[in-house]
Structure 1
Amino acid sequence: MTRTGSMATFGSAVVPVAASRQARLAASASVVGLRRINGLLPPNRVGIAAGRGLIAGVMAAFGPVLPGTRVTPVRSGAVRGEWVRAAGVAQGDKAIYYIHGSGYVVCSARTHRGLASRLSKITGLPVFLIDYRLAPEHRFPAAADDVEAGYRWLLDNGYRAEDLVIGGDSAGGHLALDLLLQNLRGDIAQPAGVFMYSPVMDLTLTLAEVRDRKLADPMAPAPVGRRLIELYTEGQQQDSPRLRLTIPDGAKLPPLLVQSSAGEMLADDARHLHDMATAAGVPCELELWPGRIHVFQALPLLVPEAADALRRTRQFIHAALEQARLQAKAS
């Protein structure tokens, strides 16, 4: 990253050094509002239902679905999801495969439909949102298995791996990396690229808790996030290779784009992923955007920087698809 006046440059990207006033106010309000509410919700059926409703309301209010968006449900064997296409976007031979976040517990394809519609509009591509099973009703490895099944379904239905770009946020980032590593183990063709928003890498949230103590995360206290994740990982060893993910040296993985708010509690998880990938020889761009809102890209009416972050994502997606096309042609 190089600084130019009040801006920072990531490769060809120009990112504001300071958060907008609106983003700062949103973070401050969330600390005294959303964070406290999430901290009070009990980890039982009533609390989980309330949490799911709360997050769905926030996503709908500050990241609504764009007018004219077409949504096509998918029910095929074990695969559940939906195609999301912004107005004027055709169902072509290239697509985005999106894995929503949730702490493995609280979100769904429906909550992320607004984000998917914006990704579709800005890229001109259809977005397939996988609606994986949630905990505590379905524990590990249900979500990971569903994500893998969704990718295989796309390949089985005519999409070439080099014509797909995977996206994911929060727990969806962890699931995306797990999918890449499963592809590696099974000698399955990798997608053209992967972008991640505020990915969680340390499922114990140890890194996040250290940051949260220094600066309260606006969305939820770190122990709340840990309790959610434990509903998914209950009964598993923390060092399970599909929970504590590691990228082997020389791994043939596609290029990665990692975006996170610089002040959120998962910023160090983003740094860890970047360091792990680059040490293994995997191309990885890390962008730490000013502000503190988790997955701010999904909340454009709350955080104005979301539009610029999505434009950066578009640049990455199109560059990854073009690079994959040239590599496929050369081979």
Structure 2
Amino acid sequence: MSWQSALACWYLRRQFRPETLVPRINVEKARALTAKRAWSPRVPGGWRLRELYGPHDRPLQGEWVERTDSASTSRNGPTVLYCHGGGYYFCSPRTHRSIVYGLATRANAPVFSLDYRLAPEHRFPAALDDATAAYRRLVADGTPPESIVISGDSAGGGLALAALVALRDAGDPLPAGCLLFSPWTDLAAAGATLRTNDGRDPMFSGPAIALAAKIYLGDTPATHPYASPVYADLHGLPPLFIMAGSTEVLLDDSQRVADKARAAGVDCEFEVWKKMPHVWPIFSPFIPEANRALDRAAAFVRRVTSGATKAAQPASVTSIA
């Protein structure tokens, strides 16, 4: 564990985790604090940020990070559709630019960061509808499905996986793969690590997860497979790559998905990084482990979109210091 990641955990434990101990979630406060504290990196050299936030930009409302020299990237090269985290009720593409920029430059791939609708103004299935509509627009606009990787972190990771399941159920051509950082896949809050890692997680308390779920779900059952994809049938999905920290209260959300994917014959890589905080790649470029995680994520994007996918392998845990 680097001193940079130890410092990040120290900061989260003192500044973020106390907010999750309050028995009621203040949505507006969470949004205001996130907007105030969000750090936005500079657009990397040779790349540009194209913002699409107008009312007529839906379903592709959000941000493109793409090469300035469009001829340098083949139309059949990889494209990433990214869903940001934030419990379905706060954060935005702007708050997650460090992940998106890092992934785009490493994979040499344009990334579209989706500005999906947030709860409680727009409860389930609004976010899911936005994610599936964005994917379909990419395909309709000429992006080959086999060149697309759908990705996300935390709630956005659960959303990416749920969108993949919904697209399969609807008979859509599926993307090349799915990349998930610390995904929130169980809104029923049944994971064992909600209890066993409570107090070890520097970012969240275990009971906060169920509170956040209610904001998004409304009257929807928490075990609905499109809201909590850990309860979905995962047969027929493309390769998955999942990363989570060993002390996260949401670790079991990743472990159970990896186990179910393996049982369904899905190629699934699952890495547990020792003592890393929730969605640590967001601390790129400051934390060495964040940079290493994005390197590995980009390698997955390049591999699955090159057609060089390997046969299904056991979703055994790879532990990374």
For the superposition of Structure 1 and Structure 2, which TM-score range results when normalised by the shorter chain? 0.7 to 0.9
* 2:61 alignment partner in structure 1: 80
Say yes or no: does 1:210 pair with 2:195. Answer: yes
Summarize deviations over 1:101-155 as a string: whole Å, max 9, x none: 1110111111112221111111111101110000011111000100011001101
- Identity in percent: 35
Say yes or no: does 1:29 pair with 2:14. Answer: no
**Preserved contact between residue 169 and residue 199 of structure 1 (Cα < 8 Å):** yes
> Aligned runs of 1:212-291 on 2, under 5 Å?
212-213=197-198, 215-245=199-229, 246-248=231-233, 251-291=235-275
Say yes or no: does 1:71 pair with 2:43. Answer: no
* Distance in structure 1 (CA, Å) of the matches to 2:162 and 2:308: 21
> Aligned runs of 1:32-43 on 2, under 5 Å?
32-40=14-22, 42-43=24-25
SS at match of 1:286: strand
Give the gaps of 5 or more residues in structure 2.
Answer: 311-321
Code of the residue aligned with 1:286 in structure 2: it is: F
Say yes or no: does 1:185 pair with 2:136. Answer: no
Moved over 6 A (4+): none
**Preserved contact between residue 188 and residue 223 of structure 2 (Cα < 8 Å):** no
Question: How many pairs were matched up?
Answer: 302
* Distance in structure 2 (CA, Å) of the matches to 1:98 and 1:324: 22
How far did residue 222 of structure 1 move?
A: 2.6
* Distance in structure 2 (CA, Å) of the matches to 1:187 and 1:140: 21
**Preserved contact between residue 163 and residue 321 of structure 1 (Cα < 8 Å):** yes
| CA distance 1:199–1:78, change in 2 (3 Å) | same
**Preserved contact between residue 67 and residue 73 of structure 2 (Cα < 8 Å):** no
How far did residue 33 of structure 1 move?
A: 2.4
| CA distance 1:302–1:53, change in 2 (3 Å) | farther
**Preserved contact between residue 240 and residue 267 of structure 2 (Cα < 8 Å):** yes
* 2:149 alignment partner in structure 1: 165
**Preserved contact between residue 42 and residue 48 of structure 1 (Cα < 8 Å):** no
SS at match of 2:255: helix
How far did residue 217 of structure 1 move?
A: 1.9
**Preserved contact between residue 162 and residue 228 of structure 2 (Cα < 8 Å):** no
User: Mean Cα displacement is larger for which, 22-31 or 66-75?
Assistant: 66-75
* 1:7 alignment partner in structure 2: none
Code of the residue aligned with 1:64 in structure 2: it is: P
* Distance in structure 2 (CA, Å) of the matches to 1:169 and 1:152: 21
| CA distance 1:325–1:217, change in 2 (3 Å) | closer
SS at match of 1:202: coil
**Preserved contact between residue 24 and residue 211 of structure 2 (Cα < 8 Å):** no
Q: In angstroms, what is the RMSD of aligned CA positions?
A: 2.4
User: Mean Cα displacement is larger for which, 199-208 or 275-284?
Assistant: 199-208
* 1:49 alignment partner in structure 2: 28
Summarize deviations over 1:245-288 as a string: whole Å, max 9, x none: 23437x22110100111111111111111101001000000011
* 1:97 alignment partner in structure 2: 81
| CA distance 1:241–1:42, change in 2 (3 Å) | closer
* Distance in structure 1 (CA, Å) of the matches to 2:209 and 2:305: 34
SS at match of 1:206: coil
**Preserved contact between residue 252 and residue 282 of structure 1 (Cα < 8 Å):** yes
**Preserved contact between residue 108 and residue 131 of structure 1 (Cα < 8 Å):** yes
**Preserved contact between residue 157 and residue 183 of structure 2 (Cα < 8 Å):** yes
Give the gaps of 5 or more residues in structure 1.
Answer: 1-18, 327-331
* Distance in structure 1 (CA, Å) of the matches to 2:195 and 2:251: 11
User: Mean Cα displacement is larger for which, 225-234 or 23-32?
Assistant: 23-32
**Preserved contact between residue 164 and residue 193 of structure 1 (Cα < 8 Å):** yes
* Distance in structure 2 (CA, Å) of the matches to 1:189 and 1:79: 18
| CA distance 1:212–1:36, change in 2 (3 Å) | same
